[in-house]
Structure 1
């Protein structure tokens, strides 16, 4: 295995790339310097804390600590995905349910097939990868669903007036919303190996693992992410579209005003 070391001096030199972006932003008056600085500071603080926590959790190798990390990741992902569905009733609860169920199912399949072991050094990073991708997918689903219901609410009202139930009246919106959540994952998979060398694969190669073995792990991750984002998008959309109707199965137009 290759012994990789990143010193504080190396990090400081790497920060020069951020300074270049800041200079360009200031010169061209792009107004994103504040966001860059906040993002960099948050990343440093959050990753430093997470690094020490993971070091402790991995060293302890305790089931309950591993499950606690799983719960924290899922709760944070659900909360953030729900916030992206601002204006959709019960968006946070739907996100938590979809991400929780989806992550448990995906991890269970990976563990029972022997793809990964139930140890913190594998469970925690994989949980983060799964939950973060589902979070992004659900956020896209919610955004698309709310906008599409707003744009097509008259069509939905006409379908309801003609006797359609709420699912039939919403089916086109459902399909478009699910597709919007899954499409980025599909697009990224299409370019694997041609445009991008993903983080896990690159990390394994950096660590000295045979590139062929690293590719097999990356293919497994691709299957995992495609399956989990698809399932998460489907669960969240099929629960969320019902929130656009009241108890009398009428479209709640107040959500669009």
Structure 2
């Protein structure tokens, strides 16, 4: 597609009329924030402006990638998402040493394995129009779950370090000494994903399903895709969450199987 074509730009500008008009609801939020003296008016303006800019740019990028037949573009787009997600999740668990790398590796493992299974089972064809949006959904959910898992695991170990040290003194390995804390952190991190799966369609219609229906697809087709999406989100998030706990152990313990106090004393 030629982006310099005048008809393309005219169509693009016409299509942006509705998004611009929708900013009226943001004006309402700004007014309420001002009246209630919340002091977040500029943060709202910054957030919506940044979202507008980011989505506009990514729209052009995806338009370009979708017209290419080179697999390398799919891989590059996927790796970019993983890197950004790893950094974001690592910031949530900023007191975990090398948290960015641990989160990135965990997200990569969970989402790539899930995507591989979906492609092998012919659920999705390996083309940009399917793989990139699907990867984005998986990476986004895995990012949230991984960040919460790492943060919660460190917090629980800090609170219950006496119990862990007793177990280590009795000859337990780090894995054996932290099994309860690991379970707790994984369960808490996965709870929102599982709760969403339990109530999907009853409280709200998910984004993928809503997008298909608004795009003209039948509700039954939309439901079929949404079932696939929920399954892949649970799979990718679970693998990423569990993987992050395994990768965190070297940061939490010394080579002599003792707690690394510097990690838990950091504020």
TM-score, normalised with respect to structure 2: 0.90
Alpha-carbon deviations, 1:151-208, whole Å to 9, x = none? 1112212222233221121111110111122111001111101002001111111111
| Match status 1:129 vs 2:137 | yes
Aligned to 1:16: 24
Q: 1:94·1:240 contact (CA, 8 Å) conserved in 2?
A: yes
Superposed CA offset, 1:37-68 (max 9, x none): 22111101111110000001101232111211
Q: CA deviation at 1:6?
A: 7.0
Runs of 4+ in structure 1 displaced over 3 angstroms?
5-9
Deviation track 1:59-78 (CA, whole Å, cap 9, x = no partner) reads 12321112111111111111
**SS of equivalent to 1:193:** coil
Question: Take 1:241 and 1:40, find their aligned partners in 2: how far apart are those partners?
Answer: 39
Alignment match of 2:190 (pick from 179, 182, 200): 182
Q: Distance in 2 between matches of 1:154 and 1:36?
A: 44
1:65 is aligned, of 50, 73, 76, to 73
**1:170·1:241 contact (CA, 8 Å) conserved in 2?**
no
Residue 115 of structure 2: aligned partner: 107
Indicate which of 113, 117, 138 corresponds to 2:146.
138
Match of 1:166 among 174, 178, 185: 174
Instruction: Tell me the distance in 1 between the aligned counterparts of 2:116 and 2:126.
Output: 9
Whether the aligned pair in 1 keeps the contact of 2:89 and 2:100 (CA below 8 Å) is yes
Per-residue deviation at 1:133?
0.6
1:178-217 matched pairs, under 5 angstroms: 178-217=186-225
Partners in 2 of 1:102 and 1:18 — Cα distance?
Answer: 36
* Alignment RMSD: 1.5
Equivalent in 228, 241, 255 of residue 236 of structure 2: 228
Q: TM-score, normalised by structure 1?
A: 0.94
The answer to whether the 8 Å contact 1:181/1:229 transfers is: no
**Residue in 2 aligned with 1:116?**
124
Structure 1 unmatched ranges of 5 or more: none
Equivalent residue number for residue 256 of structure 2: 248
Question: In structure 1, what is the Cα distance between the partners aligned to 2:14 and 2:96?
Answer: 44
From 135, 149, 152, the counterpart of 2:157: 149
* CA–CA separation in structure 1 for the residues paired with 2:253 and 2:14: 54
State whether residues 85 and 139 of structure 1, in contact with CA within 8 Å, keep that contact through their aligned partners in structure 2. yes
**1:95-131 deviations in Å (ceiling 9; x for gaps):** 1211112221111111111111111111111111111
Between the aligned partners of 2:43 and 2:141, the Cα distance in structure 1 is 22
Question: Matched residues in 1 for 2:55 and 2:217: separation?
Answer: 25
**Structure 2 residues not aligned, in runs of 5+:** 1-12
Q: Please give the alpha-carbon distance, in whole angstroms, between the structure 1 residues aligned to 2:197 and 2:40.
A: 30
